[in-house]
Amino acid sequence: MAEPQDPLAWVPSVDIDVMDPSLQGYEHVMNWMAQRDLDRAGPGQDNLFRDVPLTSATEGWRRVNFLYPDRPTVSILIDEIDSYLVAIQKGDGKWLKFSDRPIPLPADHPAVESMDIQSSYVHLTRGFIREQLVFGTPVLTNLYHVLLHFNPNIGLMNRQMIRQRKALVQLIVLFCEAVRFRQMRARLLEIMEDGQSVTLPRKMWPWLQEWSTASKFALSCKEREGHGNMQDDPSLLRSVEGLEIKSREDVPGFLGLILRSAFVPAP
């Protein structure tokens, strides 16, 4: 019997070897995604700030395929409008989506099922301490096995579901947050090079709730520069002091992607 066709096979994708994961494999994925964001920003400086791309409101999707020789491929689906993980693909080809996120398939499509899990960290991290999660090349292999057999039909606080939710948070950090935060990407690359499984610096975890805040500051700076004003907005600058951003010059070292919808220019 022929395998069912993947209804999201058309989505631009990048592959990563998870049987023998490496720094080079992870870095290839990160470079591919960074180039996707630059391509979406387009030529010129309209959609860049200090060479950091702004997100585009144009619909777009990307997927990362986890390859394990002689075993089924599993995947994750990311919404390019805001770099959010929206769905995962199990080993049987079924797509499991977060209950609060749309994907480019109808809800009643036979290849789609809702996980009955929301994509927010508040929901995803119930029952464990996220700062204790580890990252590294061995984690990539473990994530493959979790995706392969992911079971959405167990209670939120079931021990297996907690393990699965930990994997979802690790996936979001590795393939979404590392796109948004350049310093986080740099640290994850160092961890991948080392080959061990270690935690992230604790200071990085609060950043995950501050992407919009940092983006708002960057967009304000871009708008001001467009009017010839090279002074930073004092109140917005104060809002990012805890992120080690002391001026607009620190933005390109901190952000890898700027959320366009974070700031509404003054009339």
Question: How big is the chain, counted in residues?
Answer: 267
What Cα–Cα distance (Å) separates residue 123 from each residue in 8, 95, 120, 175?
A: 26, 20, 5, 19
In a domain, 246, yes or no: yes
What pLDDT is stored for residue 196 in this prediction? 92
Cα–Cα distance, 90 to 88 (Å, whole number): 7
Any domain includes 249? yes
**pLDDT at residue number 2:** 43
pLDDT band at 64 (very low <50, low <70, confident <90, very high): very high
CATH label of the domain that carries residue 73: 3.40.420.10
Are both 214 and 194 inside the same structural domain? no
Residue partners of 244: CB distance under 8 A and separation at least 6: 250, 254
Mean pLDDT of 186-196: 96
Is 1 inside a domain boundary? no
Q: State how far the Cα of 120 lies from the Cα of 99, in Å rounded to an integer.
A: 11
In-domain check, residue 229: yes
**Is residue 46 assigned to a domain?**
yes
Is position 166 within any domain?
A: yes
pTM: 0.94
The model's confidence at residue 263, banded by pLDDT at 50, 70 and 90, is: low
Read off the pLDDT of each residue in 224-228 and give the average, rounded to a whole number: 84
pLDDT band at residue 267 under the 50/70/90 scheme: very low
Q: How confident is the model at residue 178 (pLDDT cuts 50, 70, 90)?
A: very high
If you average pLDDT over each of 162-176, 217-231, 246-260, which comes out highest? 162-176
For range 102-121, the mean pLDDT: 91
In the predicted model, what is the mean pLDDT of residues 34-58? 93
**What percent of the chain has pLDDT above 70?**
96
Based on the fold, state whether residues 77 and 29 are members of the same structural domain: yes
Residues 79 and 73: their CA atoms lie apart, in Å, by 20
Is the same domain home to 52 and 152? yes
pLDDT band, residue 155 (cuts 50/70/90): confident
Domain that holds residue 136: 13-180+187-199
Same domain? 131 vs 54: yes
Average pLDDT score, the chain: 92
**Residues 224 and 252 occupy one common structural domain:** yes
- Residue 4 domain flag: no
Q: Are residues 71 and 134 in the same domain?
A: yes
- Residue 175's nearest CA partner among 50, 52, 33, 40 is 33
124 with 191, same domain?
yes
For residues 191 and 224, state if they share a domain.
Answer: no
SS (H, E, C) 158-183: CHHHHHHHHHHHHHHHHHHHHHHEHH
Q: N- to C-terminal Cα distance for the chain?
A: 61
Residue 71 — φ and ψ, nearest 5°? -130, 160
Q: Is 253 helix (H, G, I), strand (E, B) or coil?
A: helix
Count: domains in the chain: 2
- Residue 8 inside a domain? The answer is no
| 23, 30, 260 from 183: Cα distances, Å | 16, 13, 20
Q: How far is CA 240 from CA 75, 98, 177, 209, in A?
A: 34, 30, 17, 12
